[in-house]
Structures are given as C-alpha cells and as structure tokens.
A = this chain, B = another copy of it.
Amino acid sequence: MKKIDILKKLRSSGLRPTKQRVEIAKFLFEREKTFHFTVESLDKLLAKKTTSKFALATIYNTIHAFKAAGHLSEVEVKGKKTYFDTNISNHHHFYDSENSELIDIEANEVVFQKLPKAPNGKKIKNVEVFINLKN
C-alpha cells in the first residue's frame, strides 16, 4: 500500500490525514502480512521506528478512528490489554500464550461438520474460533 492509498483511505473514512494518522497508518497498513498489536506495543514500535512523537491519547484516538472506519478490528485475548488486528476479514486465530502472539487462520481453514443452532429468537452474527497453543 502506497502513500497515496493511505491518504485516500483516510480521506474516504472522513479522517483528516494528519501527520500522526499518516505515520500510524503507514506503519500499520504498509505491510504484507496481518499485524496484531496492543496500544502499548504499537506505542513502543512507533517510538523505535519513527522520529515523531505520539501522545498515548493520540494513539488511542487514531486506533479507535481506524476501527470505527473499518480499517482495524479488535480481537479478544486473555489478559487485560486490548488487541487490534489489521486483518478485517472474518477469520480465526491461533493464540500462543508463551509469547502472547496471535496468528491468523483464514476463514476457509476452518469447516464445521456440526454447529448448534442459535437459541430461540436469536441469530448467529458470526463464529470465532480460537486455537490455544502450547509447546
């Protein structure tokens, strides 16, 4: 993803391409593979990889803006920190608790032979599979 696309992506989501948003967006989205992170880990990586300074609140604001715009998804992981995911497609995860690492599983890698039907009056919104790993 090129710089021009980053700008388009922000603009089309109603987000002004500010210095911080562009830097964060480049860091998050100009990569081949899915990136899973917490705000804390992102903060450290940005400090290491860029010259700009980012208030923590700005990182939170920006991440939430990206999430609201559909550019990021949130993944629920054991522990109190919130994880975000640059893969916004419907997919599943391995979780390696040794190093708190999430690994993507594409949706078509999981097929069900049997699934319960939703309780009365409810419908299934989506199904998430979590595969916990050990060594």
Whether, in the assembled complex, A134 has its beta carbon less than 8 Å from a beta carbon of chain B, the answer is yes
Given A123-B133, A129-B127; A114-B111 close (CB under 8 Å): yes
The size of the chain A interface, using a CB distance under 8 A, is 34
Whether, in the assembled complex, A45 has its beta carbon less than 8 Å from a beta carbon of chain B, the answer is no
For A96, the closest partner residue in chain B by CB is B122
CB of A25 to closest CB in B, whole Å = 25
CB of A98 to closest CB in B, whole Å = 8
CB of A94 to closest CB in B, whole Å = 7
Whether, in the assembled complex, A78 has its beta carbon less than 8 Å from a beta carbon of chain B, the answer is yes
Query: Is A124's CB under 8 angstroms from B131's CB?
Result: yes
A-side interface residues toward B, CB under 8 Å?
Answer: 74, 76-78, 80, 94, 96, 103, 105, 109-116, 118-119, 121-135
